[in-house]
């Protein structure tokens, strides 16, 4: 079992935020936000609102001022998060890394970057490709790129009919989980091909101007890398597959009546999927906390060694605290990321915010959203081909039985030798006794 890894990144002040003050401070792995609603009030004994609200993270990146000594560049973010993604993928685990935040907070910049400052996705792909010659086993890389726009799925790497671009459907395999039927997968052998796929997908992605950002992403984008390795482990074949989901979520934004109908519809669907994602995360956190509490109660009961107490506790927990329902299918986004959010995956969440006082409400909403994920426990496992795994385990079992047989034969040989020695000694003793008796 493993917890979510939460990270926070702060973007520079927006141009329209000039003159605004910075209300967020970072101390090691803690982000402190000044409450502007009570900041100007005089301290009052009866005022229960906190002036400073603190949120803890696994990593906090201060990317506000490039001249600042604690400025976190794209390379710093990759060294912490990107290397963790690569390490998990090399071992055969599924990995999910997604960025969440308001419109214009730096999600796409963190995930994709710019030509002058590339983000996490191209850096991860570059390192996978560059490490390819160093491995002494075969490797296959399959890439796919899709977007979810208005709760419909489109392939960003495939030419589609302009009249009906959203024809892909989401299905669910009983073993493999949710997948997109008909989604194209591209075999890649060098980094130039990866760059070409990323550029083509980004160019096809839907963006639009909003009050906050001139080129706001109006869809959720999921870039998937299927990473298959065939190796020899102790002279036995082994094949492991890992899936890396790199997710750039659309930005949350409040509806504005001045927007046209298309913008309002886009915003409504974006908020619907993000609200569903929040409900899923809250439900998963609640279930994880419940499981931990049940395990602690059971451990205490086993220490007490009282069957009556154990049965009573188990009955009361099951009757009064049921597992919360997880509404994965309420949104295409949560349905596709079902395993990544609460199953067989190591998940990293990047919360992006603006430190400006003009974005206080959105910043607090993002931080509270991220804090709900701190208690979610996933159970990742190494994804090994079932047939190859069975062959390897059978060979290991044969070797183990051979070793047991050899040890048994060795024991039998020693027993037989000891018995011969005992018989010889007994015969010698009888002969001596006979000679003594005759002499007497």
Q: Is pLDDT above 60 for 356?
A: yes
Q: Is pLDDT above 50 for 97?
A: yes
119 known member of a binding site: no
Distance between CA 367 and CA 100 in Å, rounded? 10
Distance between CA 151 and CA 266 in Å, rounded? 9
Distance between CA 366 and CA 376 in Å, rounded? 17
**Burial (CB count within 10 angstroms: exposed 0-12, middle 13-18, buried 19+), residue 420:** exposed
Q: 299 and 184 in contact (C-beta within 8 Å)?
A: no
**Beta bridge mates, 241:** 228
105 known member of a binding site: yes
Q: What is the pLDDT of residues 7-44, one digit of tens each?
A: 889 888 766 555 568 888 888 889 999 888 776 555 55
Q: What is the pLDDT of residues 47-58, one digit of tens each?
A: 556 678 899 999
**Beta bridge mates, 149:** 152
Q: What is the pLDDT of residues 104-124, one digit of tens each?
A: 888 999 999 988 899 999 999
Q: Is pLDDT above 80 for 144?
A: yes
Output the average pLDDT for the chain.
Answer: 80
Q: Which of 167, 172, 166, 77 is nearest to 122 (CA)?
A: 77
106 known member of a binding site: yes
Q: At what angle do helices 307-320 and 261-304 cross, to 10 degrees?
A: 170
List all residues 6 or more positions away from 267 whose beta carbon is below 8 Å from its beta carbon.
253, 255, 259
265 known member of a binding site: no
Distance between CA 101 and CA 353 in Å, rounded? 6
104 known member of a binding site: yes
pTM here is 0.81
**Burial (CB count within 10 angstroms: exposed 0-12, middle 13-18, buried 19+), residue 145:** buried
102 known member of a binding site: yes
Largest CA distance in the chain: 131
Q: 178 and 341 in contact (C-beta within 8 Å)?
A: no
Distance between CA 203 and CA 197 in Å, rounded? 10
**Beta bridge mates, 2:** 378
Whole-number pLDDT of residue 402: 85
Whole-number pLDDT of residue 313: 45
Grade residue 184 by pLDDT with cuts at 50, 70 and 90: very high
301 known member of a binding site: no
- Kindly state the average pLDDT of the residues 270-289: 87
């Amino acid at each position: 079992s493993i917890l979510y890894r939460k990270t926070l990144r702060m973007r520079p002040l927006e141009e329209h935020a000039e003159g605004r003050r910075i209300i967020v401070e970072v101390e090691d792995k803690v982000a402190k936000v000044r409450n502007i609603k009570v900041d100007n009030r005089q301290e009052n004994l009866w005022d229960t609102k906190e002036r400073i609200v603190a949120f803890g993270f696994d990593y906090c990146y201060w990317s506000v001022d490039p001249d600042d000594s604690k400025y976190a560049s794209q390379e710093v973010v990759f060294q912490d998060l990107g290397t963790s993604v690569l390490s998990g993928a090399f071992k055969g685990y599924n990995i999910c890394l997604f960025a969440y935040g308001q419109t214009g907070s730096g999600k796409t910049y963190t995930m994709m970057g710019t030509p002058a400052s590339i983000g996490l996705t191209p850096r991860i792909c570059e390192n996978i490709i560059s490490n390819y010659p160093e491995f002494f086993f075969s490797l296959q890389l399959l890439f796919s790129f899709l977007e979810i726009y208005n709760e419909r799925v489109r392939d960003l790497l495939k030419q589609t009919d302009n009249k009906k671009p959203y024809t892909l459907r989401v299905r669910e395999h009983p073993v493999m989980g949710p997948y997109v039927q008909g989604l194209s997968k591209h075999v890649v052998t060098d980094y130039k091909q990866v760059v070409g796929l990323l550029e083509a997908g980004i160019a096809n992605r839907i963006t639009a101007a909003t009050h906050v950002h001139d080129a706001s992403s109006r869809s959720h984008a999921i870039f998937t890398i299927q990473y298959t390795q065939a190796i020899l482990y102790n002279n036995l074949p082994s094949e492991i597959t890992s899936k890396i989901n790199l997710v750039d979520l659309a930005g949350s934004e409040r509806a504005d009546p001045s927007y046209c109908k298309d913008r309002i519809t886009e915003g409504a669907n974006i908020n619907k999927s993000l609200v569903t994602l929040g409900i899923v995360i809250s439900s998963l956190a609640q279930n994880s906390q419940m499981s931990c509490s049940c395990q602690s109660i059971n451990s205490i009961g086993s220490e007490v060694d009282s069957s009556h107490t154990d049965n009573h506790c188990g009955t009361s927990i099951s009757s009064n605290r049921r597992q919360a329902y997880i509404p994965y299918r309420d949104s295409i986004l949560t349905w596709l990321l079902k395993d990544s959010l609460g199953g067989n995956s190591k998940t990293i969440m990047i919360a992006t915010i603006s430190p400006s006082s003009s974005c206080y409400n959105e910043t607090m909403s993002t931080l509270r959203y991220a804090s709900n994920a701190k208690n979610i426990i996933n159970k990742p496992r190494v994804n090994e081909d079932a047939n190859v795994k069975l062959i390897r385990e059978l060979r290991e079992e044969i070797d183990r039985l051979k070793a047991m047989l050899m040890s048994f034969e060795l024991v039998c040989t020693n027993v037989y030798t000891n018995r011969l020695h005992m018989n010889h000694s007994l015969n010698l003793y009888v002969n001596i006794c006979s000679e003594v008796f005759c002499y007497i």
